[in-house]
Each structure stands twice: as structure tokens, then as C-alpha cells.
Chains A and B, each alone.
Chain A
Amino acid sequence: DTGVSQNPRHKITKRGQNVTFRCDPISEHNRLYWYRQTLGQGPEFLTYFQNEAQLEKSRLLSDRFSAERPKGSFSTLEIQRTEQGDSAMYLCASRTEQWRVGTQYFGPGTRLLVL
């Protein structure tokens, strides 16, 4: 499968715990995005990487959130001291600069439930 992959697909955690999600983009895609989607809403932009550089972060990304993309390949999104409001689907998307900017390929998402 050459699409975007995300792990884990589901995560249940208790409030206050730390969680980390992983995204593996399509191999030739140098641009990677994280979005968050809550029930009944469209995805909301969280952050953007071009290769290993994190070039944009949303105000939604509080200081409890950190994202990395070492070596410009896979990316991780960590949430520290989780809160119930963090419960959502976390989506990763990637694209290559050769494609039209709006064509982003999404992974299946990681569904987080904070109890």
C-alpha cells in the first residue's frame, strides 16, 4: 500500500496521559500536514512541514502539542497532559510540490478518546 499510513488507528487514554501518533506520508511527498477533526465538523489545520522544517502552526496547537518530522520522512504528533477536549480524529496528509496545492492525500486518521 503506497498511501499515507497512520498509527495507531485508535487510542483510548486517561486524562493527563501523554500520547504520540505517527504518520508515514507517501514516499515522494515532501510536504506533510496534520489536521484535527471533531464530530460533525470538517478537518482543522494544525501544522505543516516542508521536508523536516515545521513552517506553520495553528493557534489550535497549544503548548501541550508538539510535532516533529525528523529527516523529512515520517512525522509524529505528541499531546502531553491530554484533556477531554483533545478527543478527536487526527488526520495526516501529504503532497508533493509537483501537484496542485489543494490535492492532499489523507491518511486514515488516528481516533483519540480521552476519558
Chain B
Amino acid sequence: RKEVEQDPGPFNVPEGATVAFNCTYSNSASQSFFWYRQDCRKEPKLLMSVYSSGNEDGRFTAQLNRASQYISLLIRDSKLSDSATYLCVVLSRGSSNTGKLIFGQGTTLQVKP
């Protein structure tokens, strides 16, 4: 079983739609969580951190449920420019000083006009 699991999609949605991505992680001792975005044939870039209380950044809302070991990302009012792969990322507890990131396989979003 992979340490971080995501539905690979693709999710095909019209502009303006709300879309949600989910992710589960297996290591209950994991400390920190993130969403990275990766455009086609480009490098991953940090989208946002995920805090226990939930956090919002414009149209993006991230939530964490430690009891269920579940992370989510909600995108409201989707734009064409949101089309990308969204990577769920967990900081490995055993290497919190190293900063080793454990990535899910990514969920692909395609926003259509």
C-alpha cells in the first residue's frame, strides 16, 4: 500500500464548477501536509500547506482530518488556468528535520470552457 493515496482522475469539469480532491495517508504519525500543483511537463510548486483547523487561500480550501488520516482540497469557481495535476504531500515523520516529502500520485484536473 502506498503511503499517500489519491484518486488519479482525471476530473473534467466546466469553468465555474466546484471540485474536490481527496487524499489518504497511512502513517498516523505524519506531522505536516501540503498540496503541490504540477503543470504538464513542469516542476511541482507548493500550492498551500494544510492546517488542522482547515485553511483557505482565495478559491482554494484545504482540510485535514487526522482521525481519518484524510486530506482534502476544494477548488471553487474553477478557471481554465486551474488545469493541472494536484499532488497531495506528507512530510515523513521520521525525517522531520530532513524534510523528506512523500507525494501521492497526483489527481489530474481538466477545466473545460
Contact = CB atoms under 8 A, between A and B. Distances in A.
B99 A102 contact: yes
A66 to B, nearest CB: 19
A43 interface: yes
Interface in B42-63: 42-46, 49
A108 B100 contact: no
Interface residues of A, number: 23
A75 to B, nearest CB: 15
B46 A40 contact: no
Contact of B46 (A35, A43, A55, A104): A104
A101 B91 contact: yes
A106 B99 CA distance: 14
B108 to A, nearest CB: 9
Interface in B72-113: 87, 89, 91, 95-106
A103 B105 contact: no
A45 B42 contact: no
Contact of B101 (A40, A41, A104, A109): A104
Nearest to A107: B43
Interface of B: 4, 8, 32-34, 42-46, 49, 87, 89, 91, 95-106
